[in-house]
Amino acid sequence: EPEVTQTPSHQVTQMGQEVILRCVPISNHLYFYWYRQILGQKVEFLVSFYNNEISEKSEIFDDQFSVERPDGSNFTLKIRSTKLEDSAMYFCASSDQGAAETQYFGPGTRLLVL
């Protein structure tokens, strides 16, 4: 069964450093998402991406965040200058038809900012 993959599984970084989280969505999917989950809290939407541009973004997704699809397979989330409160699990998801269709989640990247 096809699946979403994410790398790295864990990342530790110093406050103020840039991090890039990588995702490979399911190959025939067209809609891509990033979510985050702070430990003990609910999953929160960050951004959706379709047709090589951001479709929607939440209040969390400020100027420190950016997304990119650099090639036909990868989908990345960059945090330019990490803050302590960015520590969370970051999930990538993809779906083949967007709204109302099942989103498949990757295993997540656990980011710890020190």
Catalog residues that contact another protein under the rule CB under 8 A: 31, 33, 35, 41-45, 48, 50, 55-56, 58, 89, 91, 95, 98-108
Mapped onto helix, strand or coil, the DSSP state of residue 65 is strand
**Between residues 20 and 45, which has the closer beta carbon with respect to another protein?**
45
- Shortest distance in whole angstroms from residue 36 CB to another protein: 11
- Shortest distance in whole angstroms from residue 30 CB to another protein: 10
E strand intervals along the chain: 5-7, 10-13, 19-24, 31-37, 43-50, 53-57, 65-68, 75-79, 88-95, 104-105, 109-113
Cα gap 31→96, rounded to integer Å? 6
Say if CB 19 and CB 13 are below 8 A apart.
yes
**Between residues 35 and 65, which has the closer beta carbon with respect to another protein?**
35
**Between residues 14 and 102, which has the closer beta carbon with respect to another protein?**
102
**Between residues 42 and 63, which has the closer beta carbon with respect to another protein?**
42
- Shortest distance in whole angstroms from residue 95 CB to another protein: 6
- Shortest distance in whole angstroms from residue 81 CB to another protein: 25
